């Protein structure tokens, strides 16, 4: 139990002091000097006298009940109803061949990215999340949903070579926008993770970012790899077990270069931020930071239902006050 207006309780000391002062000022009974008390033995006071003496107590109790009632005592009614401002999130994941590069301590880029995304999704509450996968083209692996179990199952099914190779970043952003454009959520974001530069698709990343800006969708771009380029894996040799790398038609080693400049521009245009992930720990921190940035913009509203208890004190207090007033004016009236 608690009080909605506890400052009214300051009236209780006032009632107590008033009662004490009244008893002190009027408590001494009248007396008569007499040389012999034998013939004037005092009898026990009757009911009317005792009732009259109790009137100040009745008034003090009545006023005390009214003061506590004004403080509005309340009792919690079960569980609190928590209402949060949900965020709609589309996770955009690069599944191109270069994501098989094993430059993370615990595995290749795609495996590590899937692990980090898995942890990210498991930390969500009341937020719809979707998943877009891209390489040479983009498609929706999972639409916006609150069923995180289904999404995590579909996340686990992502692998290299499930889409024709390439890096269609602009198409991936457009596919995510198609999922967010009908959303009525106050916060709509996409988290784009890629390790390459746009080389496929009819829409370039900057144009797609301008469309995101027009729709009020923020893009948080996460770059994996390095701008100097990383050899694109082409599988493992069955004889040596070593990683083999892809070569172009001109016989040159194919490199996957991280286009940081474009990703920075994409994030800037949409009102988001760009991050570079050099290892798994950094990548995990990036997703955590993105979540904190979004959640800090919205205040969680909590509504707790209470039962008002002031009636249990108000009516008895008024009843006692009325009783004291009536008795003082009738049966217990003090004559001059």
The reply to whether 40 falls in a domain is: no
Same domain as 270, residue 128: yes
Q: What confidence score (pLDDT) does residue 240 get?
A: 64
Q: What confidence score (pLDDT) does residue 48 get?
A: 66
Per-residue pLDDT of 249-304, as tens digits, reads 666 666 667 889 999 999 999 999 999 987 888 899 999 888 887 765 544 445 56
Tell me how many domains the chain contains: 2
- Answer yes or no: are the C-beta atoms of 97 and 234 closer than 8 Å: yes
Average of pLDDT values for 121-130?
Answer: 89
Same domain as 319, residue 187: no
Same domain as 162, residue 60: no
The reply to whether 111 falls in a domain is: yes
The reply to whether 325 falls in a domain is: yes
Same domain as 52, residue 8: yes
Q: Is 317 helix (H, G, I), strand (E, B) or coil?
A: helix
Q: What confidence score (pLDDT) does residue 56 get?
A: 75
The reply to whether 38 falls in a domain is: no
The reply to whether 334 falls in a domain is: no
The reply to whether 13 falls in a domain is: yes
Same domain as 192, residue 53: no
Same domain as 65, residue 149: no
Same domain as 308, residue 266: no
Same domain as 312, residue 173: no
Average of pLDDT values for 127-151?
Answer: 94
Same domain as 171, residue 282: yes
CATH of residue 117's domain is 3.40.50.410
Per-residue pLDDT of 38-95, as tens digits, reads 555 555 666 766 666 677 787 788 788 888 888 888 776 655 544 556 789 999 999 9
Same domain as 190, residue 61: no
> b/e for 108-123, b at 16 or more Cβ within 10 A?
bbbbbbbbbbeebbee
Q: What confidence score (pLDDT) does residue 81 get?
A: 47
The reply to whether 209 falls in a domain is: yes
The reply to whether 36 falls in a domain is: no
Same domain as 257, residue 157: yes
Same domain as 206, residue 170: yes
pLDDT tier at 189 (50, 70, 90 boundaries)? Answer: very high
The parent domain of residue 64 ranges over 2-23+46-78+304-329
Q: What confidence score (pLDDT) does residue 150 get?
A: 94
Whole-number mean pLDDT of the chain? 80
Instruction: Look at 138-142, 150-154, 226-230 and tell me which has the smallest mean pLDDT.
Output: 226-230
pLDDT tier at 328 (50, 70, 90 boundaries)? Answer: confident
Tell me the range of 92-106, 217-231, 273-287 where mean pLDDT is highest: 273-287
């Amino acid at each position: 139990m608690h009080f909605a207006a506890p400052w009214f309780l300051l009236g209780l000391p006032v009632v107590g002091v008033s009662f004490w002062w009244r008893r002190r000022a009027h408590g001494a009974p009248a007396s008569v000097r007499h040389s012999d008390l034998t013939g004037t033995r005092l009898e026990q006071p009757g009911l009317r006298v005792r009732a009259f003496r109790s009137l100040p107590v009745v008034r003090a109790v009545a006023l005390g009940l009214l003061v506590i009632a004004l403080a509005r005592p309340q009792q919690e009614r079960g569980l609190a109803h928590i209402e949060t401002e949900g965020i709609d999130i589309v996770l955009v994941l690069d599944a191109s061949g270069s994501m098989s590069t094993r430059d993370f301590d615990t595995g290749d880029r795609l495996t590590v990215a899937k692990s980090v995304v898995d942890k990210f999704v498991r930390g969500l509450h009341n937020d719809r999340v979707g998943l877009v996968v891209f390489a040479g083209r983009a498609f929706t692996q999972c639409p916006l949903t609150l069923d995180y179990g289904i999404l995590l199952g579909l996340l686990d099914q992502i692998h290299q070579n499930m889409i024709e190779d390439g890096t269609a970043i602009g198409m991936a952003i457009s596919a995510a926008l198609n999922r967010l454009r009908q959303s009525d959520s106050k916060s709509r974001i996409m988290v784009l993770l890629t390790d390459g530069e746009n080389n496929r698709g009819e829409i370039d990343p900057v144009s797609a970012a301008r469309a995101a800006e027009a729709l009020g969708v923020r893009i948080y771009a996460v770059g994996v790899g390095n701008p100097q380029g990383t050899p694109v894996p082409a599988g493992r040799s069955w004889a040596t077990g070593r990683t083999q790398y892809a070569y172009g038609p001109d016989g040159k080693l194919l490199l996957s270069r991280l286009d940081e400049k474009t990703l920075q521009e994409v994030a800037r245009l949409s009102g988001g931020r760009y991050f570079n992930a050099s290892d798994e720990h950094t990548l995990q921190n990036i997703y955590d930071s993105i979540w904190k940035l979004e959640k800090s913009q919205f205040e969680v509203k909590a509504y707790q239902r209470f039962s008002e208890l002031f009636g249990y004190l108000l009516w008895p207090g008024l009843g006692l006050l009325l009783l004291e007033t009536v008795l003082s004016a009738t049966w217990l009236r003090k004559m001059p």
